[in-house]
Structure 1
């Protein structure tokens, strides 16, 4: 369940992904690009696992020495690959890292400049917006550098485990609001805001408890919360977010239906439905079902 929650958050709402899909010429190309991207995304499952398995086997045979899991791939690369190929792999990794960071920085800059600053100061010129975007990017970089010591405290210092932990805390509130928002016309802004802000607070508390877990009394409530597996915590967290969104929405005024036109499944016009049906064929359906089947198989096989 947790991997599905994180997957919906990342692939359906994360600005880094959404900004790429929005560059498509039309819905048909955007959909097929997403389907093709899903096929490509299946490859890292094996690309990540195979080098790790090789490194573990070589270590057990005494042919490779590494103490930290994060050292497995660099040690493998230095031990097996020749000098020229090592440089090529390192350059490829750096290029991929720079591309990912550029996407993140661009997304953060766009979100702050367009969604926050421009609404506060709508009269701002393009030159001012560009300058604000650069400042926002610089702040994000500095915050990222300042956050590095925290990584060593979380998930045993493993970068991959840290990423999985943090994503499992960020995703539930956004996924709950997103799914309920597009499937129900009764969910309102009050329910979404309460869920997002309370979810942010709960995620922050969980991170703080993880950092200071060693100083907590074993068996206490706070220790048990900090010690709970992050996937299990994410599942319960998601259920809370769903309940909070629904309850707050039901106890507050319903949104004006005229403002929901085209935003939920229940308010899509007949014209939009017809255009959507015309934008895909049986090939898209079969490809999507095939990907879903592979994902379900992997989840069941490795569970």
Structure 2
């Protein structure tokens, strides 16, 4: 299948407009050259609305839209827990984590680890994150994005990946984080509008033209098993979403690691004008997360009725897009590509930030700011090239890419959460305890995966987290057991939030209670 001339025109106009806006916001005053703060942290100038939009645009990409829709097709509404539980996770990050990070004035998450522990911990985690971002996140976004383009426009997979990589480079390589964050405002608007339109048309088709409400009722009647938020043990997908663990177990660890300690997510909050602006942006993103399942999960469930013959779950979203009328398909296609290139730009900017600021600058201490920015741009290009080359071998045979990503990152996230949480809130944590938690997380996860294969990976994440906490505490007590000089002084941190933030937090909690009560 190929796009019509009208659809292609809509997409091309969108792409050109995006590049034009990116170049406009990236322009510099005469005589001023971008330094590392400008390129990697947008000069600490981002307002709340840009932060909130950019957080979601960075998060919602091909592995979310294509992958989560595929999981919606295979599992059902239960996969929305990743979105809805993330909303309350964001509130926690804004209140308790962001004040610490901004007070420390950091560029990267590994930089905080060096401030709190030592350079050894910083280096190990920097190398780990570079590997995950290039060989897991970038490859997943490129592969699934190319799959969507192939299904909708008939473009060969390799050319689709090259196009996406070049598109993200064109609008982000010069401007850095500011270009990414400011264009994300356009991206998220197009993404939400296009996604809501797709869901509307799918439900209207299921309702035989009687409207979306009738379509939704019909959908719940035809596939009631797809509307269980908490899966029972006899559900064939219990291993992916093990019952109450989505509320009280390992999903908390996955979410805290992703939203609180993940460089390419947290970086836009580090670029906030102020703590209050960052917190308002996070609250805005939390409300957007509540909306996301309508955009990314519902079309996948609708595909069970509209296209039950699909060979693979990850074909659900692209297949639903084929139902769009001429012109509208171009808009929805633009929305999908918007999400993909936004995440690619965010990831490559974070990869270049970590490599340049955490590794390269340590060995090349006296170079100019212009030199570091140039290195960052080169690293962005190299990382995209590697991801294009490795995408097919790594993801070509994956049934549900979203679940693949969660399973892989689940080997490391327990240890990451332990060393950050203890590093922020327990003064006795030291570098040795951090290394034990980081390495123990991977080793314990491997051992449990093969010795206890029937244990759901989310439960494994929770169990490994508890074991890593024990190991880290014991190690810290054995190797000194005293408060560290570089520990975070919580008395200097402003944890008190404005009443508007508190109202937003209460609203998010109430909405989540209502949602889980309705679909329990």
Measured against the shorter chain, the TM-score band is 0.7 to 0.9
**3-state SS of 1:89 partner:** helix
Asked whether the equivalents of residues 11 and 18 of structure 1 are also in contact (C-alpha less than 8 Å), the reply is yes
Which of 490, 506, 514 is the aligned partner of 1:289?
A: 506
Report whether the alignment pairs 1:161 with 2:403: yes
The aligned residue for residue 17 of structure 1 is 265
The aligned residue for residue 107 of structure 1 is 350
TM-score of the aligned structures, taking structure 2 as reference length = 0.48
The aligned residue for residue 91 of structure 1 is 334
Whole-Å Cα distance in 2 between the matches of residues 185 and 223 of structure 1? 35
Correspondence 1:143-182 to 2 at 5 A: 143-145=386-388, 146-152=390-396, 156-182=398-424
Listed as ranges, the gaps of 5+ residues in structure 1 are: 207-220
How many Å apart are 1:202 and its aligned residue? Answer: 5.1
How many Å apart are 1:59 and its aligned residue? Answer: 3.3
The aligned residue for residue 198 of structure 2 is none
The aligned residue for residue 118 of structure 1 is 361
Correspondence 1:3-14 to 2 at 5 A: 3-14=251-262
After superposition, give the CA deviation of every residue in 1:94-139 in whole Å (9 maximum; x if it has no partner).
1111011110110011011101111122112234323432343234
**3-state SS of 2:410 partner:** helix
The aligned residue for residue 149 of structure 2 is none
Asked whether the equivalents of residues 428 and 484 of structure 2 are also in contact (C-alpha less than 8 Å), the reply is no
After superposition, give the CA deviation of every residue in 1:181-214 in whole Å (9 maximum; x if it has no partner).
22211111211122113334555x47xxxxxxxx
The aligned residue for residue 43 of structure 1 is 291
The aligned residue for residue 26 of structure 1 is 274
Whole-Å Cα distance in 2 between the matches of residues 222 and 201 of structure 1? 10
Correspondence 1:245-260 to 2 at 5 A: 245-254=472-481, 257-260=484-487
The aligned residue for residue 461 of structure 2 is 234
Count of equivalent residues: 271
After superposition, give the CA deviation of every residue in 1:35-85 in whole Å (9 maximum; x if it has no partner).
11111111112322211121112235xxxx42211111111111x211211
How many Å apart are 1:291 and its aligned residue? Answer: 1.7
Report whether the alignment pairs 1:75 with 2:319: yes
How many Å apart are 1:225 and its aligned residue? Answer: 4.2
TM-score of the aligned structures, taking structure 1 as reference length = 0.79
**3-state SS of 1:259 partner:** coil
Instruction: Kindly indicate which of the two structures has a greater share of residues assigned to helix.
Output: 1
| Greater alpha carbon shift after TM alignment, 168-177 vs 85-94 | 168-177
**3-state SS of 1:83 partner:** coil
Asked whether the equivalents of residues 437 and 468 of structure 2 are also in contact (C-alpha less than 8 Å), the reply is yes
1:59–1:182 distance in 2 versus 1, CA, 3 Å: same
